[in-house]
Structure 1
Amino acid sequence: MGNRQTVRSGSPLEPQIGFSRAVRVGNHVAVAGTAPIGDDGSTVGPGDVYAQTVRCLDIAERALEAAGASPADVTRTRIMLTDVTQWKEAARAHGERFASIRPATTFVEVSRFIDPDWPVEVEVDAVVDGAST
């Protein structure tokens, strides 16, 4: 399946936990659970599920691009929420990004994330057509 490529986002948790923001093997790209963290390390949009979902998707998109993929290559997304009753706000952000791509998508409720100010995290999987990297 080709060489393994890892993508880092600069999160201080990456070396501590021992993970990469994204991993590409051959034409498959997996983006790790992505939290709504700003470039300065602070939580983006506290209390705003829509804004936080947009931020998660922005981070995931940057990771995809660093791995040689694009949103058009996305085959699956997972939206994890601490309160699934707020799914419509997350879905609005997801729909704005993926309405024409329409990946397989799952919304799940989780008990919590590392930071209690994060009500949402996003995972993304992609398959890059014709890739041999």
Structure 2
Amino acid sequence: MPRAVTLIRSASLSDVAEYAYAATAPAEARLIFLAGACPLGGDGSTVAIGDYAGQAARCVENLRTALADAGASLEDVISTRVLVASARQEDLVTSWQVVRDAFGDHDVPSTLMGVTVLGYDDQLVELEAVAAVLD
């Protein structure tokens, strides 16, 4: 099945970034706006307490589930935002690497942000996404 998302790389910008700088989807694509995927288990409790990589992995897992329920997959994501409750760059990088690895060659435009606090007790990571699919 053809994909709606086209990743755009800019030769005019730094090639240090490990992701495309922009992405497009045709006008006929159905956009899917996902709530932030949180590191919650099936019982609603925060998992991997104190573990940035573990929480990032659960966020990706929960994002995959939400995407599947909406008729999409990671390959249909057009952009992401990774929120990390830390002022330490290494915690952001740890979380980012898990998310980046999950997306593989589909290196969507992304924003990585350090924030002061997230919504659930002991939550360290949250992953927002927008996807586009052709029906």
- TM bracket, shorter-chain basis: 0.7 to 0.9
- Alignment correspondent of 2:96: 91
1:58 aligns with 2:57: no
Q: What do residues 18-63 of structure 1 show as CA deviations (whole Å, max 9, x unaligned)?
A: xxxxxxxx61011101210101222110000101011011111111
Q: Which secondary structure state, in structure 1, belongs to the residue aligned with residue 80 of structure 2?
A: strand
The separation in 1 between residues aligned to 2:75 and 2:43, in whole angstroms, is: 28
- Alignment correspondent of 1:112: 117
Greater Rg over alpha carbons, structure: 2
The separation in 1 between residues aligned to 2:100 and 2:117, in whole angstroms, is: 24
For structure 1, which runs of at least 5 residues remain unmatched after alignment?
A: 1-25
Identity of aligned residues (%): 31
The structure carrying a bigger helix percent of its residues is 1
**Counterpart of 1:71 in structure 2: which amino acid?**
L
C-alpha contact (below 8 Å) 2:36/2:128 kept by paired residues: yes
The separation in 2 between residues aligned to 1:114 and 1:102, in whole angstroms, is: 27
1:35 aligns with 2:59: no
Q: What do residues 61-107 of structure 1 show as CA deviations (whole Å, max 9, x unaligned)?
A: 11111111111101101000111521121112112211210111001
The separation in 1 between residues aligned to 2:43 and 2:36, in whole angstroms, is: 19
**Counterpart of 2:70 in structure 1: which amino acid?**
A
C-alpha contact (below 8 Å) 2:82/2:111 kept by paired residues: yes
User: Normalised by the size of structure 1, how large is the TM-score?
Assistant: 0.74
Superposition CA RMSD, Å: 1.3
- Alignment correspondent of 2:25: none
RCO (CA 8 Å, sep 6+): is it higher in 1 or 2? 2
Q: Which secondary structure state, in structure 1, belongs to the residue aligned with residue 47 of structure 2?
A: coil
Cα shift at 1:116:
3.8
